[in-house]
Structure 1
Amino acid sequence: MSAPTFGLTFPHTWHVEILPARPAILPARHFVYPRAVDEIERGALEVLVRPDEPGATPFLATCALGFRDPVVPTGIWSTPNPREMCAVSGGYAYIIDTTAPERFKMLTYRPVLQVHPIVTQGLLLFVGHRSIFAWGANGEAWETVKLSDEGVTVTDIEGAVLRGRGWHMITDKETPFAVDLRNGVLVTK
């Protein structure tokens, strides 16, 4: 597992501490993500979450580890919704409502290869092998079409346009692309 990253660029109403291991005595509130998972045996990201909401109690989030490869991210990111936290554990990404931690979303990208907060657009972007997925203040914002057969590279983000390259098997070449960050649609410029 790679060293944890903190990407707290969006305003948020919680504080976290990444623990080196699961505590010997579990707190009263403990949530395992996903709920029924064998991957926990391979390891997990253990996060003590302290919501700032009045009356909210801290909880331990145990996020199953995806891969032990240093090229996949591990860490905590704030999201466009100040109550939500994004935990990425070895490329497995979880969006957790810190005021109601039983509500979560595990992204289908396995693994997530990069995480890009785009504050100006109110998006948290997740780059996979073939496409890009965007999370906004109200949840899933959009997903691009397939941009690559194996490997998306983000090269630039300027204004509302993300530029990158994707490898195409038939031509055996990397081809440039541009995505409109407002809707995830390919643009031709």
Structure 2
Amino acid sequence: MNPLFDFTFPHKWQAEILPARPAILPARHLVYPRQAEEIERGALEVLARTDEPNASPFLATCALGFRDPVVPTGIWSTPNPHEMCAVAGGYAYIIDTVTPEHFTMLPYRPVLQVRSAPAQELLLFVGHRAILAWGANGRAWETAKLSDEGVTINGLEGGLLRGMGWNMMTDKETPFTLDMRSGSLVA
């Protein structure tokens, strides 16, 4: 597992991926999701510190989705400077670093790619069939189905996202273009 790091967006926290859970846990230890059977398969252990005064560090134990190298694992900054995105084997968690009890586990299992779109202030999550965009205030939009199995982003430019999706009926890769403000298909 080679973790990825993307700190494109300004953030008010620091984080490091630990090679294993520490023998002595910090006072604040949170498991994501709260009651995770997946923890038995493994976890991403992230030691995080917020820049808030007098805040103590916390250990985020993020349940691992898959051990396949095709799915991402790592840490991303988000458009909200207090939120951290941790991805563990394709399971994506948005964690509020000021109150880490507050988190969102994204519905894609797995997330196949995470992509920063700084011009639009979005963090993009690519699944098998659609794309979900996360903004400073949370979920910004989610596309309709773009593919029967496999979405590829080819480029982000001028407020447009260009990509490809496989169409089962034609057995062909089909291009698509999205408006990055809404996630809608552009005709």
With the shorter chain as reference, the TM-score category is: over 0.9
Deviation, structure 1 residue 141: 0.2
Give the counterpart letter for 2:41 in structure 1. Answer: R
Question: Corresponding residue for 1:60?
Answer: 59
Q: Compute the TM-score of the two structures, normalised by the length of structure 2.
A: 0.99
Secondary structure of the residue that 1:85 maps to in structure 2?
Answer: strand
Q: 5+ residue gaps in structure 1?
A: none
Secondary structure of the residue that 2:155 maps to in structure 1?
Answer: strand
Offset from partner CA, 1:104-151 (integer Å, 9 cap, x none): 000000000000011110000000000000000000000000000000
Q: 5+ residue gaps in structure 2?
A: none
Question: Corresponding residue for 1:37?
Answer: 36
1:88 maps to 2:73: no
> Within 1, Cα distance between the matches of 2:155 and 2:60?
33
> Please, what is the CA RMSD of the aligned residues?
0.5
Question: Corresponding residue for 1:5?
Answer: 4
> Within 2, Cα distance between the matches of 1:185 and 1:79?
22
Q: How does 1:1-189 map to 2 (within 5 A)?
A: 2-188=1-187
Aligned length: 187
Deviation, structure 1 residue 100: 0.1
Q: Compute the TM-score of the two structures, normalised by the length of structure 1.
A: 0.98
> Within 1, Cα distance between the matches of 2:185 and 2:151?
14
Deviation, structure 1 residue 57: 1.1
Deviation, structure 1 residue 48: 0.3
Give the counterpart letter for 2:146 in structure 1. Answer: L
> Within 2, Cα distance between the matches of 1:21 and 1:35?
19
> Within 2, Cα distance between the matches of 1:112 and 1:183?
20
> Within 1, Cα distance between the matches of 2:163 and 2:119?
19
Deviation, structure 1 residue 55: 1.9
**More deviation in 152-161 or 68-77?**
152-161
User: Quick one: percent identity of the two aligned structures?
Assistant: 74
